[in-house]
Amino acid sequence: MRRKSTGRSDTTNTSKPSAFQSPLFNFTTMAIFGGVLILGIGIGIAFSSTATFTPSNVASREYIDTKAPNPEICVQYGASAVVMDARLFVTFNPFNVYVAQPNMRPGCVLRQNNWAILEQRKLVNSEQERECKNRLNTFGYTGDLNGDKPDIRCIYQNEAAQNFFINQPGAIAPSQETQRF
């Protein structure tokens, strides 16, 4: 005599193993994938943040500092700069503005309390210094200070201009001492 089935299924486990239990995705494989991911991110960051030292791509402050005239004086007593000379032509009938190709070269902006460097080398006189100080300006120059003829000018700090790189998410604000020359 046979027994009648009660409708219960066999109690043995016939289900397939989960994806994490298969030999394809064990913990060693997951650790290797994680390591490769982190290594890839690290290499990507390294490639994207390296400074290029070619004239075609000026991507770092350090590069500009090394190319400034008299870099040791400029960094110690002021700030390196990129000087742009451009000529504008304005016509009035009809009204148009034309811009010539700008000339860009390395330069330096001195802090007001370091003007003695220029006066000691007899590159500016006390009259020029007084005129520049009365207008709350400072001196900037291009060319070697030890050379024949550096181009030294009284320049105005435009406080209305904004640096749109500052106050962006993730940006670090510069120290207060570098804000006013």
Listed residue (69, 149, 74) closest to 111, CA to CA: 74
Confidence tier at 9 by pLDDT (50, 70, 90): low
The larger pLDDT score, comparing residue 77 to residue 15, is at 77
Residues 6+ apart with CB under 8 A from 100: 86, 87, 88, 89
The structural domains of the chain, with segments of one domain joined by +, span 19-50, 59-160
DSSP state of 2: P
The larger pLDDT score, comparing residue 104 to residue 61, is at 104
Confidence tier at 107 by pLDDT (50, 70, 90): very high
The larger pLDDT score, comparing residue 163 to residue 143, is at 143
CA–CA gap between residue 18 and residue 142 (Å, rounded)? 70
User: What percentage of residues in the chain have a pLDDT greater than 90?
Assistant: 15
Confidence tier at 180 by pLDDT (50, 70, 90): low
Amino acid in the structure at residue 148: D
Task: Give the chain's mean pLDDT.
Answer: 78
Residue 126, pLDDT > 60, answer: yes
Query: CB atoms < 10 A from the CB of 112, how many?
Result: 15
Tell me the chain's radius of gyration from C-alpha atoms: 33
Confidence tier at 113 by pLDDT (50, 70, 90): confident
